[in-house]
Amino acid sequence: MQLRELAVPGAWEITPQQHGDPRGVFLEWFKAGPFAEAVGHPLDLQQANCSVSAAGVLRGIHFADVPPGQAKYVTCARGAVLDVVVDVRVGSPTFGQWDSVLLDDVDRRAIYLGEGLGHAFLSLEDDSTVLYLCSTGYAPGREHGIHPLDPAVGIEWPTTARDGSPLTPQLSAKDEAAPGLHEAAEQGLLPTAAAVEEFIASLRA
């Protein structure tokens, strides 16, 4: 298993070693030891989610209040998605920047997004199945969103599906109504880099 920190600090790409034979494939998509060594603290698993999306479904950009935030360890068990992390931490040197990892059923990578980061993905194939390990449970009052097509963020979403057909983004009504990055900052919805640092320091203590 290899872990590589992304351009947005606090997010990692995880590439597992796959063991294949005529029967199929086996891999370890999460290992507590290497994870804690790279990130600096263990993952406190409180909830596991599964979503299935048609090609073109665009989910996010989602984030949660810090503390406690919601860290996510995400992989795609079937199909393919472009998974994106956005720095929404006010005061961060990389505020507003994003990075991405292709999650699919070929390389079987995962992505870890620490507390205070925004998360979104675009499904590139029908029935793409995404699995999330989460550090906190769902709490509607603490969770927020930024419009995934906000030009201030400028995510370069793919325009074609895995089979080469054109993609039309499909957003939920909630994501469609989400504010832009700067509007969310003006509304006081975004976590601060200082609050995130303080909380993560408490996890490492």
Q: Which residues are marked as active site?
A: 62, 132
Angle ∠(180,182,186) on CA atoms, nearest 5: 115
Q: What is the DSSP letter of 191?
A: P
What percent of the chain is helix, strand and coil (3-state, nearest 5)?
15, 40, 45
As a whole number of angstroms, the distance between CA 147 and CA 154 comes to: 11
Task: Give the tokens for residue 146.
Answer: 């930024």
In 3-state terms, what secondary structure has residue 197? Answer: helix
**If you ran DSSP here, which 8-state letter would residue 136 be given?**
S
CB 60 within 8 A of CB 119: yes
CA 157 to chain centre: 14
Which DSSP state fits 198? H
Question: Which residues partner with 128 through β-bridges?
Answer: 53
Question: In the structure encoding, which two tokens stand for residue 50, read together?
Answer: 């599964």
Say how many C-beta atoms besides its own lie within 10 A of residue 111's C-beta. Answer: 25
User: Token pair of 195, please?
Assistant: 């609050």
